[in-house]
Amino acid sequence: MYTILDIETTGGKYNEEGITEIAIHRFDGHKVVDKFISLVNPEKEIQPFVVKLTGINNKMLRTAPKFHEVAKRIVEITKDTVLIAHNAQFDYRILRTEFRRLGYNYERKTLCTVELSQKLLPEAESYSLGKLVRSLGIPVSDRHRANGDALATLKLFKLLLSKDMDKSIIKTVVKAETLGELSPSQIDMIEQLPSEVGVYYMHNKDGEIIFLGKSNNIKKRVNQHFTKSGDRARKLQKDTKKVTFEKTGNELVALLKENEELKRNKTKFNQKQKSRLFSHGLYQTVSEQGYITFFAAALNAKGSTGLVTTFASNHGAKNLLYKITADFKLCDKLNGFSEAKNNCSKYESGTCNGACINKEDIEIYNKRAREAIQTYSLNNKNITIVDKGREIGEYTAILIQNGQFKGMGYYDLNHQINNIHILESIITPIKGDNNTTHIIESYLRKRRVLKILEMKP
């Protein structure tokens, strides 16, 4: 016996969402024998993007039953069934969270139609519910409403059942009773964790750290560890007796802290730390005429001197090369994007000033090239990177001297970073290396920070 489930929520922080609508169809493998469909008053505001997506608004839910008023019906209709949902982990987590708020431990086996579709429909271009059912010619109405999505999932599940000729897929995909379900002790551990950015530590019975990692949402990430399948994941779940954490306030500090602490702690379940986090670089050189030019290459490749900044892939290096060529009005031909014998095409359109035919003043061109280097490289810089701290009114300071990471700390008064001696006393000293430089430069290319202060050498 199965129950096809779909839930709509308020949106919001992980494990703080509320249910706004629920649809459950009890299915015996041939026909629907019972169903329950209801709006639910979540007793909290719905996120605006969810209102736009689902059409469900706060006014519609004022007179709807609250979850505790429908909880008994949900328990009864799903009793002795396997829960079927598209991305079952989400719906099951939401349902269990609501029941935990009532002091009830709700447990069911689950089956995910995303996983089942990936195995039975390997040629599908997308496994999102809407695109998948459309590609299969399955009619769907009231998309992003609980009953509309539940009916689409039911039709999809029927099709998948018919494709599973030897029934082996269903036997392997149906979750074992302990898989994807948290033990009471794991639930307690997760409840103590914040939905914030930081570094978390998983300890064994002796208190030793057996795994550490960083996350933008510690609670969500640890929950994933406890519900993940695979031999290694199950061993980690079994050995973990306590989880501790440190909030960092922002992701850059978390990345640097994770990198440093993986060097200092030998953990059983972390993959061996790479000696080098990057494989490619953006390089500078000077043409015969004296123009600064740039090229992307693998590290230690022939002629690869004059490193500007590093990347984990050649694709990333080439993307930045393309970006600085456009943003700083550099020449396509000098930077290897054009093989024209004379001028590049951008010269004709007016976006290249003629360096390709030695027409632009070398010093004027090189000034822009040096600005590009200054923008994306820490080389020789003396700066303090300032970003959000762990609480309101607190900030993080990441100190760079002569292009090298020196340490990081927290402050709440401006004079603490304006005075280099005070700043050096409040930061935790950490010896920078090529990996920390890569982490910082990569982060600054992709993310915004509150401010970057120039410091006197």
Tokens representing 370? 């040096």
* Residue 177: pLDDT band with limits 50, 70, 90: very low
Predicted local distance difference test score (pLDDT) of residue 253: 95
Mean pLDDT along residues 378-385:
95
> Is the distance from CB of 375 to CB of 445 less than 8 angstroms?
no
Q: Which of 211, 201, 204 is nearest to 268 (CA)?
A: 211
Predicted local distance difference test score (pLDDT) of residue 217: 95
In whole numbers, what is the pLDDT of the chain averaged over residues? 89
- What is the rounded CA–CA span in Å between residue 271 and residue 320? 29
Predicted local distance difference test score (pLDDT) of residue 412: 86
> Residue type at 141?
S
CA distances from 281 to 15, 303, 336 (A): 40, 12, 15
DSSP string covering 393-442? T-EEEEEEETTEEEEEEEESSTHHHHSHHHHHHHSEE----HHHHHHHHH
* Residue 165: pLDDT band with limits 50, 70, 90: low
Q: What is the pLDDT of residues 292-346, one digit of tens each?
A: 999 999 998 776 679 999 999 999 999 999 999 999 999 999 999 888 888 888 8
Judged against a pLDDT cut of 70, whether residue 173 lies above it is answered with no
C-alpha triplet 212, 215, 217: angle, nearest 5°: 125
Q: What is the pLDDT of residues 23-53, one digit of tens each?
A: 999 998 778 999 999 999 998 888 888 888 8
> Is the distance from CB of 21 to CB of 38 less than 8 angstroms?
yes
Identify the three-state secondary structure at position 163.
helix
Mean pLDDT along residues 191-204:
92
Predicted local distance difference test score (pLDDT) of residue 405: 97
Lowest mean pLDDT among 65-69, 282-286, 304-308: 304-308
Which among 15-19, 47-51, 400-404 has the top mean pLDDT? 400-404
Judged against a pLDDT cut of 90, whether residue 66 lies above it is answered with yes
Predicted local distance difference test score (pLDDT) of residue 167: 55
Judged against a pLDDT cut of 90, whether residue 252 lies above it is answered with yes
Predicted local distance difference test score (pLDDT) of residue 178: 42
Better-scored residue on pLDDT, 230 or 18: 18
Predicted local distance difference test score (pLDDT) of residue 433: 95
Predicted local distance difference test score (pLDDT) of residue 181: 59
Identify the three-state secondary structure at position 219.
helix
